[in-house]
Structure 1
């Protein structure tokens, strides 16, 4: 029987399990996808832990997962543009992609370009749409200097590349283990931690025009201290600081549509955008996958392969 990740209560990774479930049947406008890859994301851990209950309450038993890529197994009534056997990538808003099969609204899928590997296709939507929206929010361009915190993480690693594509100078805050990767992608690496403000000033020549915070933990305060205007600061995580200073909070919801997904997949297919894949896990090792994710020291994406 098909399998799916489930949990019955809020908690740590120990509440996760993999259950046998009935194979779903697509309704009108839906596509049944046999999943080949599905990324995992920090937001899913926050939902599971109950930290987002006021905004995104879970209904138990709950599934999880948004990102997905796979092969169309079946289409429901009224679906055009997709047929059984098509290779697709996309997303679901039903917390269901960490599974062997998932029902997806046809409008939330695009065809997988041949140059986009399964692991990348299956982990693109959440981080890609988030990075896309964050970069758009701070509007970088030639002559600007942009700082990105968490620059080697899932969102940050894409944000630095998309910002570079605008012609801006990009400074990436990351551990020394990730400096070579950042340098290879045209980003000026700076180590985080004590004294980071002085290191950023030195790397930027003293002027920072925009700041994208993908990590939290005081980086909005740092951006303000560096003299960045609030309307050119975007945080995807520190909403308290955003409320304090009036900065932007554009993230996944601001970039979440299939047109953005298709554009990003096209950039990957052309070789002009890279999604680093840190590690893949089989579906039945979902706990181990989230254990690694929650250490918050991963370059790029962790992916489940059902």
Structure 2
């Protein structure tokens, strides 16, 4: 899938791009002009990038892409980790050689990435120093899922006397949410397929299979009741939580909206939140499983696997 280099004297490097919005078959590995850091910017030599459902959702069709401000040709991927290899004028927070991680919406899967020091993930990107003891592959999967999980946890605010139900607990956001809730002292029950039970137990959750009869299984598993719920997939978990008597203010969703329930938005979390998550991972207080890794040349295969929504953990792209 490697495309021929463009004929130019300008330095080039690789980037995953779409020239049409659509499924994974629209992804191409291209040679593009290597970006240069301007004032208040750093350039990162990306070593690893993490996949998230939002990556392929945002680029699935032209109307959805337009809602996120994306136009063609578009990059792909948001989470990244790497090493600063160029700094622009006025930058004092970072130096060449610093290891960094962060997010840059729909352009992270590239050899080189320019980040605005004062930017945000949608506008200019964001960068954080990678803590010692945290390898790049793991740092590259923290930002979007970690921010989203932290936002969901903040809405329901689990305490040691809570029994928290997490729908879709084995997915990329779920692995963070389960462990953050357990660190807060809550009992966690996580829904998933029968094949995800061992993975959920390893994270500290009590597994329960989703689907028909879930409410009855939960009544058996938690006879004293569910006190809070996070729906990481759609609305089914939120509706069942309501049926089991959980008040709306102790329920949240991330992938759909339910009237009366506050949705969680990772964009509302602070920079300090993701930095704290990175410190927790570096100190082995959080364990983020990597389900698979692929070289960037296999980006289509990686996205196809990630989009089937049955991956236990995160998928990493190596550059």
Q: TM-score, normalized by length of structure 1?
A: 0.94
Partner of 2:207: 189
Query: Are the counterparts in 2 of residues 92 and 105 from structure 1 also a CA contact under 8 Å?
Result: no
In 2, the alpha carbon distance for the partners of 1:61 and 1:141 equals 46
In 2, the alpha carbon distance for the partners of 1:233 and 1:84 equals 44
Q: Which residue of 250, 274, 282 maps to 2:287? A: 274
SS in 1 for 2:45: strand
Partner of 1:248: 262
Partner of 2:183: 165
In 2, the alpha carbon distance for the partners of 1:115 and 1:197 equals 42
- Residue by residue, what CA displacement relative to the aligned partner does 1:5-63 show, whole Å, maximum 9, x if unpaired? 11122211111111101110011111100001111111111111126346314211011
- Residue by residue, what CA displacement relative to the aligned partner does 1:215-255 show, whole Å, maximum 9, x if unpaired? 1152222221121111111100012xx23xx1011122122
User: Number of matched residues?
Assistant: 300
In 1, the alpha carbon distance for the partners of 2:246 and 2:283 equals 34
Aligned pairs (5 A) from 1:66-105: 66-93=78-105, 95-105=106-116
Partner of 1:47: 58
Q: CA deviation at 1:85?
A: 0.9
In 2, the alpha carbon distance for the partners of 1:126 and 1:89 equals 11
Partner of 2:4: none
Whether 2:306 is the aligned partner of 1:293: answer yes
Q: Which residue of 16, 21, 39 maps to 1:28? A: 39
Query: Are the counterparts in 1 of residues 15 and 110 from structure 2 also a CA contact under 8 Å?
Result: yes
In 2, the alpha carbon distance for the partners of 1:294 and 1:34 equals 26
In 1, the alpha carbon distance for the partners of 2:235 and 2:73 equals 32
Query: Are the counterparts in 2 of residues 188 and 203 from structure 1 also a CA contact under 8 Å?
Result: no
Mind listing any 5+ residue stretches in structure 2 that lack a counterpart?
1-11, 119-125
SS in 2 for 1:49: coil
Partner of 2:171: 153
Query: Are the counterparts in 2 of residues 38 and 65 from structure 1 also a CA contact under 8 Å?
Result: yes
Q: CA deviation at 1:97?
A: 0.5
Partner of 1:237: 255
State the structure with bigger RCO (CA 8 A, min sep 6), 1 or 2.
Answer: 1
Query: Are the counterparts in 2 of residues 27 and 77 from structure 1 also a CA contact under 8 Å?
Result: yes
SS in 2 for 1:26: coil
Partner of 2:122: none
SS in 2 for 1:2: strand
Partner of 2:218: 200
Q: CA deviation at 1:110?
A: 1.6
Mind listing any 5+ residue stretches in structure 1 that lack a counterpart?
none
Partner of 1:223: 241
- Residue by residue, what CA displacement relative to the aligned partner does 1:40-89 show, whole Å, maximum 9, x if unpaired? 11111111112634631421101122111001010111111211111111
